[in-house]
Amino acid sequence: MPLVEIKNLSFRYHGHENYVLKNINLDVHAGEFILIIGPSGGGKSTLVNCINGIIPHVIEGVKKGKVIVDGYDVDETPIKEMAKIVGTVFQNPETQFFSLSVLDEIAFAMENLKFSREEMEERINWVIQELGLEGLLRKEVSRLSGGQKQLVAIASVLALQPKLLIFDEPTTNLDPQGAYEVLNIIEKIKEFYGRAIILIEHKLDKVAPLADRIWVISNGEVIIDDTPQEVFKNPGKIYELGLKPPSIVEISIRLRNEGLIEPSELPLTVDEFMDIIQKYNLRNVSSRDFTFTTDRITINSSDKPLIEVRNLWHQYPDGTVALRGISLDIYKGEFVGIIGPNGSGKSTLVSHFLGLLSPSHGYVKIFGRNVREYSVSQLSKIVGFIFQNPDLMLFQTTVWNELAFGPSNLGLPKKEIERRVKEALAMMRLEGFEERHPHALSRGQRHRVAVASVLTMYPEILIADEPTTGQDYGACRKYLDLLKKMNEAGRTIIIISHDMSLIAEYVERVIIMVDGRILIDGPTRLIFEKEDLLRKVRIEPPPPTQLSLRLKDNGYDVPVCLTVDEVHTVIRSLLAADK
């Protein structure tokens, strides 16, 4: 008997005419790992909220069909009882915290469910040992890193020992180290505890190999329900939905279609790919045989920097020193990526470019003029900033008004405002949303609205803090292609991101920050070649880079690759002799 049975499930929210879920029929068996993927706004989070009881007990609407979990009808079972069976870890762990200390937070749910003191102590000791939280137990939750907060959220849920664990994009807001820790714990739960797991996640390179089955959901319907190999072996539908298979799968499919590897061979990981490739007779090549795109634009010695930072220090009122002597130049037309762990000073640095923060020491100049000399309105015409949390930027009642707000304040003619708004709507795939309230949209859609509101200002410098947060691959690709086009037209683009595939493919210069300092600054290819340095700061290169480095370690003279296209070109040359 399945642990979860979903029968003819349809659901729409109050105030909305259209159903978010449409006649869903699915099941989950004990110990199964289900990965849910699909475009933003397709109904993924709504579906898991129907399983854990948030719908209909907290969020109401019009619901049809049945959801049965461990023999209990979700509609008829109080949510406190559902919490014993289904544990949920949300995208933002702070939305589910109720206590000040880590210990109190882990104990909170058990206290409310009236567990005995002895059983609580036993479960707390078990979960902190399993998740390695011994050193955090007495700390305040508010002082933890993003990854640590997510681990505490997992611990508080796992302590209840539910039969099903749901993770709704748990790594979205985490730096590489935090994401690594959380995904390792999820893998451990799958391997050792025998719990059923449902995971919503966009990072397919990491999580697809863990899944027993993948549900592909779009427009409220289940498009595909199958094993990872079956889902990805003919990925046409995946691409149509704006999704992207794991990079190793993409490389393998290209080689398979060219007849260079066997049709049955579809690895999901770098290790699996290396096991397969070593069965073939690979020929010797030279890295000089490959010419890939230049790593950064040419800067003439006579060029003046667009942004000039000298000996910049910043100390917050609570005493935290966030920047420690930063000096750098950014030139017109550069595409720069700033990466590093959470708390390394990335957002603090770019906040100085906008005048949102004042230096404790040192200075920032834009166009040769100290930022302190600009008014806010003057800077807004030069520098556009897209926050990681789109809700901080949305305050109008309709999407149209949100996009028109900035240009209107610039005093532009009505026709020019309309032209800019329509252009931004098209760029960010927002046509048809003009009269929708921004906060009624999904997070991915809200993020696109925030981006569009900045694009209507035509800034000379565009800074994006985690531009792909909560976005599916199709939306990410369109967004980054747009930034690239703007960059090619002469605008300077600066992005802060934890997405190394994005950094590798789009940016030409990488700055790694650690503890308020610049650890290294250079061309993207050169930075990703330094695997030992990246490992020290828990930054993992994208799979194409990992694959090329593994080939180099095995004695092949290949260049460091940044993208699927590049590593495919290299491996195709290596395999040519065998065919």
Q: What is the pLDDT of residues 21-73, one digit of tens each?
A: 999 999 999 999 999 999 888 999 999 999 999 999 999 999 999 999 999 99
Residues 6+ apart with CB under 8 A from 206: 179, 183
The dihedral over CA atoms of 81, 85, 86, 87, expressed in degrees to the nearest 10, equals: 90
Q: Are the CB atoms for 251 and 74 separated by under 8 Å? A: no
* Residue 431 pLDDT exceeds 70: yes
Residue 299's pLDDT band (cuts 50, 70, 90): low
Instruction: Give 241 or 477, the one with higher predicted confidence.
Output: 241
| Partner residues linked to 143 by β-bridges | none
* Residue 570 pLDDT exceeds 90: yes
Q: Which residue, among 429, 49, 431, has the nearest Cα to 242 in the 3D structure?
A: 429
Q: Are the CB atoms for 311 and 325 separated by under 8 Å? A: yes
The pLDDT of residue 300: 58
Calpha distance 504→519 (Å, rounded): 18
| Partner residues linked to 309 by β-bridges | 328, 364
> Cα–Cα distances in Å, from 297 out to 176, 392, 463, 481, 566?
27, 34, 18, 18, 19
Task: Write down how long the chain is.
Answer: 579
| Partner residues linked to 365 by β-bridges | 308, 370
Cα 486 from chain centroid?
23
Q: What does the pLDDT average to over 443-453?
A: 85
The pLDDT of residue 116: 92
* Residue 576 pLDDT exceeds 80: no
The mean pLDDT of the chain is 90
Q: Are the CB atoms for 472 and 444 separated by under 8 Å? A: yes
Q: What does the pLDDT average to over 340-356?
A: 89
The pLDDT of residue 194: 81
Q: Are the CB atoms for 182 and 170 separated by under 8 Å? A: yes
DSSP structure class, residue 372? G
DSSP structure class, residue 195? -
The pLDDT of residue 51: 97
The pLDDT of residue 388: 75
Element (H, E) at 476: helix 473-488
* Residue 294 pLDDT exceeds 70: no
Q: What does the pLDDT average to over 239-268?
A: 92
Two tokens at 79?
């949510």
> Cα–Cα distances in Å, from 104 out to 108, 137, 138, 182?
6, 9, 9, 21
The pTM assigned to this predicted structure is 0.84
Two tokens at 378?
């003057």
Two tokens at 190?
């799958």
* Residue 298 pLDDT exceeds 70: no
| Partner residues linked to 87 by β-bridges | 165
DSSP structure class, residue 142? G
Two tokens at 162?
């539910």
Low-confidence winner among 17-21, 205-209, 216-220, 301-305 (lowest mean pLDDT) = 301-305
SS3 354: coil
